[in-house]
Amino acid sequence: KAGVTQTPRYLIKTRGQQVTLSCSPISGHRSVSWYQQTPGQGLQFLFEYFSETQRNKGNFPGRFSGRQFSNSRSEMNVSTLELGDSALYLCASSLTRTGRNEQFFGPGTRLTVL
């Protein structure tokens, strides 16, 4: 069974631009969560999508948004990029809503904002 895939793996953008990251969950998994990992902050929860609906949202500004498609694939968008958005963005999928269900992480997208 294929794991969680994220594209692209690396991305370089400049301040003010916008970016879209993609995540394909494990086949059959319906929940996708997104996290931002930065040094010193660990993994910070962005949002969770289940059945195409955002079910939970972390404490991030509105520049961060996402969506989930009917095939459970998810995209995350960041508009008006700032230098502080440079981070590793991880998505994780689980069979149903996150909780006691194990989350399976993708390798992440490394975003660098110049």
Partner 1 sequence: DQQVKQNSPSLSVQEGRISILNCDYTNSMFDYFLWYKKYPAEGPTFLISISSIKDKNEDGRFTVFLNKSAKHLSLHIVPSQPGDSAVYFCAAFNTGNQFYFGTGTSLTVIP
| Residues 85/113, Cβ–Cβ less than 8 Å | yes
| Residues 8/107, Cβ–Cβ less than 8 Å | no
Is residue 106 close enough to count as binding partner 1 by CB under 8 A? yes
DSSP 2-21: ---EEE-SEEEE-TT--EEE
Is residue 108 close enough to count as binding partner 1 by CB under 8 A? yes
Site for partner 1 in 4-43 (CB under 8 A): 4, 33, 35, 40-43
Q: Based on CB atoms, which residue is closest to partner 1, 70 or 100?
A: 100
Q: Based on CB atoms, which residue is closest to partner 1, 78 or 90?
A: 90
